Each structure stands twice: as structure tokens, then as C-alpha cells.
Amino acid sequence: MCAITVVIALVHLVRDRPAEDGMYILLGILELVLLIQLVWGAIAFATTGRDVSGVLFFAYLVGVCVAAPIGAFWSLAERSRGGTAVLLVAVVTIAALQARLWSIWHGAHA
């Protein structure tokens, strides 16, 4: 989902176009998936025997959930190429946070 949104945002950025409704719909779907992940993560953390730092894990779970709305609202306030760039940065941030969340869950604390 992140990859599709990144490609669309890059195309809009190169064409010097503002973000369109379709991008916000994709971001909304992505946010729904992230909220489901938040619930799943909380349940998985409560029922696991893994050595996972709870504060760090939940900070990333919540952080990944707030990146999309922040990027969307900022992009809506800046209806230009800059707003499209903000959406691109938000989605890339989500992908990076997801990668870190995955490594935290699998035991890489450093």
C-alpha cells in the first residue's frame, strides 16, 4: 500500500501537480490498516512471551498511526506541489516506522 502511494505521489510531484482525492483515499485505507495493526499489536503484545520493550513497541505502533493524518492535514493546508511532497514524506516515514516496528517485534532493540 505504501509503495503504490509513493509511486502516485512521485508522479504528481514530477508533474508539478497537487495531491488528488485518490491519494487521500489510499491514505485513508492505509490508516485503517494501521489502526487494525495497532489493535493486533496490542493483543499480540499482551499474549506473547517475547522479550519486547513495551514502551518502545507501543510508541512505534502509535507513531505509525499518527503519521498519515498529520501528513494528510498538512498536505490539505498546502494545496501545491509542496503538499504532494509532504504526503510523499509521510508515506515514506510510515514505511520506515513499519520496518523499525518489525525489527523491534523480532528482537532487534539497538
Q: Tell me whether residue 110 is in a domain.
A: no
Domain count, the chain: 1
Chain CA centroid to CA 94, Å:
3
Mean pLDDT of 10-18: 79
Does residue 25 lie in a domain region?
Answer: yes
Question: What whole-number distance in Å separates Cα of residue 23 and Cα of residue 88?
Answer: 10
Mean pLDDT of the chain: 86
Q: Is residue 83 part of a domain?
A: yes
Look at residue 31 and tell me if it is in a domain: yes
- How do residues 30-80 score in pLDDT, each as one tens digit? 999 999 999 999 998 888 877 888 898 899 999 999 999 999 899 888 887
pLDDT score, position 32: 94
Residue 97 belongs to what domain range? 2-105
Who wins on pLDDT, 20 or 2?
20
In this model, does residue 12 exceed pLDDT 90?
no
Q: How confident is the model at residue 105 (pLDDT cuts 50, 70, 90)?
A: confident
